[in-house]
Amino acid sequence: MTEPTTESPTNARADAPTDAAAELAAGFHRQVSERIDALAASAAAGALDPAIALLAASLQNGGVLQAFGTGHSQAFAMEIAGRAGGLIPTHSLALRDLVLRGKRPLEALQGGTIERDDSVVDDLWSLYDFRPADVFLIASNSGVNGSIVGLALKAKEEGHAVIAVTSLQHTNAVTPKHPSGKRLSEVADVVIDNLAPYGDTTLELPGGLGVGAVSSITAAYIAQLLTIGAAARVQAAGEVPPLFISANIPEGDEHNHALQERYGDRIGHLA
């Protein structure tokens, strides 16, 4: 697969900011489209099948899909867990729960350093009800921070399968920050490349500053492909896939609550 490359706008005049912005927007569209097309082709060729098989087996065995991401990779977890069109047996782990449900002070969330701290993993793990059939989906563009790698290692230690969504270009270019010296991609059972470039940005402004970050877009697309694939596989096995419908349409709440009750606090979605 040929990965898109970061591009610089051409023919952008300093006295024509509107033209420059339009050119940048067109360049970003190309960068996003090329990556989405590459992911779609990869999925059509079966690249996501190992991950989808793990998810479907988890659902069929009463498991919950446990999603985790820090920073902007929290967007991936939000695409997996608790949204319309998504699977009901899903749960999002979040570092903020160390404050909301645990004993960490609010100050622990300031500055963004907590995602690099591998010591939070045991505390985070203790907040939730995990079962043997649960599968972990962990997203991190860099794939090297302490909490990310630590949670993947903990999940593996406890016997769970781990699916990673990461930028292989970025993670292979940086030094792991976990004491194990491992990257998320080196721990996971299945690794999905989000095709984001090193540094995440896809365009370059005059002077060298990067814009047009793409990892959240490709990760969201991957999350939806995984959801669709798992739901289709469950249905092909003769079962009704447990999918949320929008709470903002008639009888949406009734449908969702009836299925949510099967899993109780294991999926514990908050506002």
Domain ranges of the chain: 22-266
pLDDT band at 12 (very low <50, low <70, confident <90, very high): very low
Instruction: Report the pLDDT value the prediction gives residue 50, as an integer from 0 to 100.
Output: 98
**Arch. (CATH architecture) of 22-266:** 3-Layer(aba) Sandwich (3.40)
Residue 82 pLDDT exceeds 90: no
Percent of the chain whose pLDDT exceeds 70: 93
Query: Which ranges in 16-161 belong to alpha helices (H)?
Result: 17-44, 49-60, 74-80, 97-100, 121-125, 146-157
Point out the least confidently predicted range of 17-21, 59-63, 156-160.
17-21
Instruction: Report the pLDDT value the prediction gives residue 8, as an integer from 0 to 100.
Output: 59
* Distance in angstroms (rounded) separating the CA atoms of residues 264 and 258: 10
Instruction: Report the pLDDT value the prediction gives residue 65, as an integer from 0 to 100.
Output: 98
Residue 60 pLDDT exceeds 90: yes
Instruction: Report the pLDDT value the prediction gives residue 11, as an integer from 0 to 100.
Output: 47
Q: What is the pTM of this model?
A: 0.90
Residue 144 pLDDT exceeds 70: yes
Closest CA to 167 of 201, 196, 189, 203: 196
On whether the CB atoms of residues 235 and 60 are closer than 8 A, the answer is no
Average pLDDT over all residues of the chain? 91
Residue 145 pLDDT exceeds 50: yes
Residue 237 pLDDT exceeds 60: yes
Mean pLDDT of 192-209: 96
Closest CA to 46 of 239, 225, 241, 220: 225
Instruction: Report the pLDDT value the prediction gives residue 132, as an integer from 0 to 100.
Output: 97
pLDDT band at 13 (very low <50, low <70, confident <90, very high): very low
Mean pLDDT of 59-88: 95
Closest CA to 244 of 231, 235, 233: 231
- State how beta strands 190-193 and 135-139 pair: unpaired
* Distance in angstroms (rounded) separating the CA atoms of residues 218 and 29: 13
Instruction: Report the pLDDT value the prediction gives residue 222, as an integer from 0 to 100.
Output: 98
Residue 270 pLDDT exceeds 90: no
pLDDT band at 7 (very low <50, low <70, confident <90, very high): low
pLDDT band at 265 (very low <50, low <70, confident <90, very high): confident
Instruction: Report the pLDDT value the prediction gives residue 248, as an integer from 0 to 100.
Output: 87
Instruction: Report the pLDDT value the prediction gives residue 262, as an integer from 0 to 100.
Output: 80
Mean pLDDT of 57-77: 96
On whether the CB atoms of residues 36 and 218 are closer than 8 A, the answer is yes
CA 85 to chain centre: 16
CA 2 to chain centre: 22
Instruction: Report the pLDDT value the prediction gives residue 61, as an integer from 0 to 100.
Output: 96
Instruction: Report the pLDDT value the prediction gives residue 247, as an integer from 0 to 100.
Output: 81
Q: Phi and psi of 110, rounded to 5°?
A: -85, 140
Residue 17 pLDDT exceeds 50: yes
